[in-house]
Structure 1
Amino acid sequence: MHVKPDQHGSHAGGHHGHGEHDSGGNTVLGFWIYLMSDCLIFATLFATFGVLAANTAGAPGGREIFDLPYVAIETVILLISSFTFGMAGLHLQAGAKAKVMQWLGITFVFGAVFIVMEIHEFMALIAEGAGPSRSAFLSAYFTLVGTHGLHVTAGLLWLATMIHQVWRFGLDGVVRRRLACLSLFWHFLDLIWICVFTFVYLRGVL
């Protein structure tokens, strides 16, 4: 029996492939479970840093190595990226595809600047002989801050992926759910960085 092909078949098939394995409830629940596991990881790293913060073994401590104004600029940049992501969310609710992509792109730029600044900070410390192998304090510091940096880098890759998906698929239900999860992840990283800035840097120079 001859079946008349659907004139929109190729597009529908591609869209179906885009979301066929993406169950909304499972996606959100799985992401919250992941986020809670991340909280445990960072809680462990903060606790470890707190225990080892005084173990400098004759190496420089926080007062000697931390450039608070520089880190404050990093902090402002990351907080601005959280604001720009919020703007993307507002335009997502309005269904403005081009504006969503624009604000996601701006968020990516701010996140990338943050990472570049962090890498520069690490390289400067290592060049000054304050690398992670110098003392327990420095080892805990590089591990905690570096783990956050790796998460931001993963967030940047996710951002780039979502910009592509918005461009290709539009603002359908699947893309909206994924952007909602990414928004939670990005704001979570901002919250963790505020804790890092307060507990590591401010506490370290006082």
Structure 2
Amino acid sequence: MTPAVTSASRMMALIVASALLVAPALAQQADDMLGVPGPISFQEQDYVLSWTSRPNPDYIKQEYVPQGQTVETYSEMILIETVVGAITPIQAAALQVQSLDARKGTDPVVNHQIMQNEASGEVLLDFVVSDLSVDPVVVEWNAYRYAALPGSEGVMLFAVSRRGYGQDGATQFMSGLGALRSEAISALTAQPLPEISIAQ
């Protein structure tokens, strides 16, 4: 493995380790850094840009939620992320899978499935995680679509996230997850990827 790949992989490992069930502690700025100010329309729902973060020059994350929801307590979210560096979609997805597998000892809900489109090089990872130690408990389903970053080495992520809260809400969420998952994945794979313009 080349030093560039190692560096990018380490950065991705830090990203995925902090990505699961972690919402911003405080509302932060929502300045568009990717040329995608929104709103983003997905499954007949509009999502507005609500939070952005650039923890280092090569990694940008933007979160979009429906009007009236917040990134701290959302039920529905769209995420767009970019990582610049010598890393591919399958490598990025594999690092996320490693992070999910590491949760299995403490998270009874965690589960994942990964699919790769050989023709396009895109990867789709869908997974379920939970946090039963908080009140109310949280169950979260995500579908991550990884693609090569246009015009640069790296990866872009276009993702959908759904949550259920509380014992009753989590149970209801899980019972309806099959239909939700199927419809959302079909919509996600058909969704045109946004045109990215990374702020310098």
Specify if TM > 0.5.
no
Q: Which has the higher helix share?
A: 1
TM-score calculated relative to the size of structure 2: 0.27
Which structure has more relative contact order (CA 8 Å, sep 6+)? It is: 1
Larger Rg: 1
TM-score w.r.t. the length of structure 1 is: 0.27
Higher strand share: 2
